């Protein structure tokens, strides 16, 4: 399935402006006596996969067994953040979890890799206590977001998932604590991604959690290709879920303000969210990319509420947003 992300409008506009500028410059008559200088070709960036040689050994596993559970379709996520405050960006990667019938032999665990001052990475998952297990069970994780929600100077970590959510509070000593329940965050139903944003500009980071579709492992729905082979069902077979907004109330806890803040769309199927002040009024807005449903633009009204204005901004036209 081909998917497109929403920023193409801005890219197209920028490229168009650049093309006009180059065309205008190229049409000017050269001045008398001017010496033409050869145009240098821009250097094309070159990338090389150095993960293994730098100590990052990770393979994503959706935990499936050939039964085509829809929970398997989104894959994993990751984040770059300086969890230990040493000035070097570290890497966190999410992992799936065993689903019914799974026969894999390697334990599935999220991973945190500490940056060794640019010389390589060290797996510190165990020391940091961020493997995404709870009560001895691996949670099915998908996306993640980072931010200092408690304003203690250490970057915290939030992880979304299928029937799972984890708020890891950074203890400032190289370890994290799972404070999800104490913070008032409830498990996602099918959480695809998230973002920390101070939507009410009170100096505390709030939390937006993207929810995808309503799905249960035992729903019995089976789909296939035109030639009769078993395959994953399309998103249109599943009803959407409403994404959630949690307000940081300043004592380590969050309050679910989804409805009162105006995030009332019943058609999310959300895969990604970007927070930015689109209208320059000093309050961050929310752009939510959805799967096969119109994308959403929640414009911050500055009074703790949002108004969905994707149609007015012509952003709802993209119906295959992907994070």
Q: What digits encode the pLDDT tens for the residues 126-137?
A: 999 999 999 999
Strand 191-197 vs strand 285-290: parallel, antiparallel, or unpaired? unpaired
Provide the domain count of the chain.
1
Chain position carrying tokens 């994404």: 243
Q: Are 3 and 272 a contacting pair, CB within 8 Å?
A: no
Tell which residue, 107, 105, 113, has the closest CA to residue 95: 107
Q: How far, in Å, CA of 26 to CA of 22, rounded?
A: 6
Sign, CA dihedral 270-161-92-53, equals: negative
41 inside domain = no
Tokens of 127: 């020391």
In angstroms, how far is CA 273 from the centroid of its own chain?
A: 7
220, 246, 263, 211: which is closest to 74 by C-alpha?
Answer: 211
pLDDT of residue 242: 94
Q: Is residue 67 part of a domain?
A: yes
In a domain, 316, yes or no: no
What's the token pair of residue 45?
């960036």
Enter the pTM of the model.
Answer: 0.84
Residue 139 is predicted with a pLDDT of 98
**Angle, vertex CA 249, rays to CA 247 and CA 253, nearest 5:** 90
Evaluate whether residue 218 is within a structural domain.
Answer: yes
For position 268, what pLDDT does the model report? Answer: 84
What pLDDT is stored for residue 28 in this prediction? 45
Nearest to 171 by CA among 157, 191, 181: 157
Residue stretches of the chain with pLDDT short of 70? 1-39, 314-323
What are residue 8's phi and psi, to 5 degrees? -60, -30
Q: How far is CA 189 from CA 98, 110, 207, 271, in A?
A: 17, 19, 16, 13
Q: Which domain holds residue 77?
A: 51-258+266-276
**Beta-bridge partners for 307:** 299
Buried b (16+ CB within 10 A) or exposed e, 1-13: eeeeebeeeeeee
b/e burial code for range 185-217 (CB count within 10 A of at least 16 → b): bebbbbbbbbbbbbbbeeebbbbbbbbbbebee
* Residue 162 belongs to some domain of the structure: yes
Pairing label, strands 223-224, 176-178? unpaired
Does residue 193 belong to any structural domain of this protein?
yes
- Would residue 60 count as lying in a domain? yes
Q: Distance between CA atoms of 194 and 271, rounded to whole angstroms?
A: 9
**Domain-located, residue 159:** yes
Q: Check: CB of residue 232 under 8 Å from CB of residue 213.
A: no
Do residues 139 and 177 make contact, with C-beta atoms less than 8 angstroms apart? no
């Amino acid at each position: 399935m081909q998917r497109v992300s929403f920023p193409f409008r801005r890219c197209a506009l920028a490229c168009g402006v650049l093309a006009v500028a180059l065309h205008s410059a190229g049409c000017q008559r050269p001045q008398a006596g001017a010496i033409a200088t050869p145009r240098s070709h821009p250097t094309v960036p070159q990338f090389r996969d150095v993960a293994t040689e730098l100590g990052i050994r990770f393979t994503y596993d959706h935990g499936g067994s050939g039964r085509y559970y829809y929970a398997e379709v989104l894959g994993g996520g990751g984040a770059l953040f300086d969890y230990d405050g040493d000035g070097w960006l570290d890497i966190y990667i999410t992992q799936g979890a065993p689903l019914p019938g799974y026969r894999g032999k390697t334990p599935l665990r999220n991973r945190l890799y500490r940056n060794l001052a640019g010389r390589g990475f060290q797996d510190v998952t165990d020391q940091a206590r961020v493997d995404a297990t709870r009560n001895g069970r691996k949670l099915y994780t998908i996306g993640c977001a980072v931010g200092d929600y408690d304003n203690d100077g250490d970057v915290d970590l939030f992880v979304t998932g299928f029937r799972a959510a984890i708020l890891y509070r950074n203890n400032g000593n190289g370890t994290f604590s799972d404070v999800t329940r104490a913070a008032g965050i409830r498990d996602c139903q099918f959480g695809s991604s998230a973002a920390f944003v101070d939507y009410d500009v009170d100096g505390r980071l709030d939390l937006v959690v993207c929810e995808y579709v309503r799905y249960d492992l035992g729903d019995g729905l089976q789909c296939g290709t035109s030639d009769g082979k078993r395959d994953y069902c399309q998103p249109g077979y599943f009803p959407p879920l409403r994404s959630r907004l949690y307000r940081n109330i300043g004592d380590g806890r969050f309050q679910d303000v989804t409805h009162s803040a105006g995030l009332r769309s019943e058609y999310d199927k959300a895969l990604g969210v970007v927070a930015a002040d689109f209208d320059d009024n000093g309050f961050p807005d929310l752009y939510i990319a959805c799967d096969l449903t119109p994308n959403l633009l929640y414009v911050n009204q500055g009074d703790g509420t949002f108004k969905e204005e994707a149609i007015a901004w012509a952003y709802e036209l993209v119906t295959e947003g992907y994070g």
